[in-house]
Amino acid sequence: MRRFRRAKIVATIGPASSSPEALRALFLAGVDTFRLNFSHGSHDDHAKVHAAIRALEADTGSTIGILQDLQGPKIRVGTIQGGSIKVAAGEKIRFVRHGQDGTAQSIPLPHPEIFEAVVPGHDLLIDDGRVRVRVTGITSDFIDAQVILGGVISNRKGVNLPGTILNVSPLTEKDRKDLEFGLSLGVDWVALSFVQKPSDVIEARGLIGDRAGLVSKIEKPAAIESIDDILRLSDGVMVARGDLGVEIPHEDVPGRQKELVRACRQAAKPVIVATQMLDSMVGAPTPTRAEASDVATAIYDGADAVMLSAESATGSYPVETVAMMDRIIRATESHKLYRSIVQASQPDNEQTPPHAVAALAADLAETVEAPVIVAFTSSGTTATRIARKRPGLPILAITPHQSTARRMTLLWGVHAALSGDVVSYEEMVERGASTARKEEFAAAGDCIVIVAGVPFGRAGTTNNIRVVTIPHG
């Protein structure tokens, strides 16, 4: 199915959207990649959804991507006497490594890695920052702190440590089991939660190999500080604004979002903007004007994809939410200022022949008013290099590999088509022209631009441009 927009839609699947009928409705409304959130649901639940998506793909003849999102390490306080305690600003409290049924002077925090890493002056944010405390003293068995922002601390509430790099793997034992299960199913992308440093990505890559693309979720300030190295090691990035917005000031999130999107465009890696994009539609049939503007901002920034979480997983209006996001994207991309804004944030050209060829192909296609750029790609790299330019016309990526086609469902402006290997220059020209007609991107007499790497089938070799007129007959 051809989408008449460039940015892609990722939708999280949950109780509101897991049936085959709901998945079909979401796909028809505009979903390009489905997200399986392994923080919830059993392996059996996810296997059924995965099978239903693949059945939908076969039935529609359209390529559909599947992203597995791993839970990652969750840091929580233990249990509290009576279920909760109220603390006030200025109050002194204590966290302890062991115990349960805590009080303000013995709040259980059963995470030895915190006791090894925090120092006086570091902050702990509890319950998404509703309570903020500052460390004043530490031993091997307890942490003393002063309450900066008072509130209620309840059983098992989450703890964020924005100024602390913890010596903890991003992959828990649960994550490792979930990852192996997801890879055995054949997911296309794996999202790694709570990335702090480049070595986290290296660890995950060692387990994933080339069986799926690796998306690093940026939700820790430490990850932003190492973003260049993390990007180099990742296949894509998710700007996870939920936890990121807890750990950095709210007013800094929009600027960080723009920086991350630009860095991903510079590195030619797909970037997803996520969390609370149309949050009010969890319980209402329409979004707020601010939410519509938020989605549009991500599109103006040049994001490859925008993501729905609770809106499609547990909300009352999952299909309507996807349809609304589709409408906002199309309206934004057709606005008279869109091209100038996206081009204003154009990253610097990479000084390599493959990137130069891809950029030249995009400029050439616009100059000759081609309706489409056709990219022959084995690994998806050629299509990614063209998409990095954000051209004003669609990119038809032809690949012999179904796994590559599915991963490209996250790429800006790319429509993937499966086709067998080409072995000659003449076959490339004929296959490109015929596929452009078949996929309804071009008609007889149209002039199209074909980009490929020669020799054919070798990943990463973008070195050839051909201008072709679609023949009649």
- Rounded to whole angstroms, how far apart are CA atoms 11 and 27? 9
The tokens describing 255, both together, are: 């600027």
Backbone angles phi and psi of 196, in degrees to 5 = -110, -35
**Geometric angle at alpha carbon 79, from 75 and 81, rounded to 5°:** 150
Contacts of 391-398 spanning 24+ positions with Cβ under 8 A = 391/362, 391/363, 391/365, 391/366, 392/339, 392/366, 393/365, 393/366, 394/6, 394/441, 396/372, 396/435, 396/436, 396/439, 396/441, 398/374, 398/431, 398/432, 398/435
Q: At what angle do helices 43-60 and 173-185 cross, to 10 degrees?
A: 30
Catalytic residues, by residue number, are 35, 76, 217, 275
* 453, 464 contact by CB (below 8 A): yes
* 178, 68 contact by CB (below 8 A): yes
Q: At what angle do helices 353-367 and 381-388 cross, to 10 degrees?
A: 60
| Number of helices (H), then strands (E), in the chain | 17, 21
* 115, 47 contact by CB (below 8 A): no
- Rounded to whole angstroms, how far apart are CA atoms 38 and 179? 9
* 279, 291 contact by CB (below 8 A): yes
Residues 6+ apart with CB under 8 A from 353: 462, 463
Residues 6+ apart with CB under 8 A from 147: 87, 88, 89, 90, 91, 92, 93, 131, 132, 133
DSSP-derived secondary structure letter, 102: B
The residue count of the chain comes to 473
* 200, 226 contact by CB (below 8 A): no
The tokens describing 132, both together, are: 């903020």
- Rounded to whole angstroms, how far apart are CA atoms 248 and 267? 24
Strand partners, 86: 152
User: Do you find a cis peptide bond into 162, omega within 30 degrees of 0?
Assistant: no
State which amino acid sits at residue 305: A
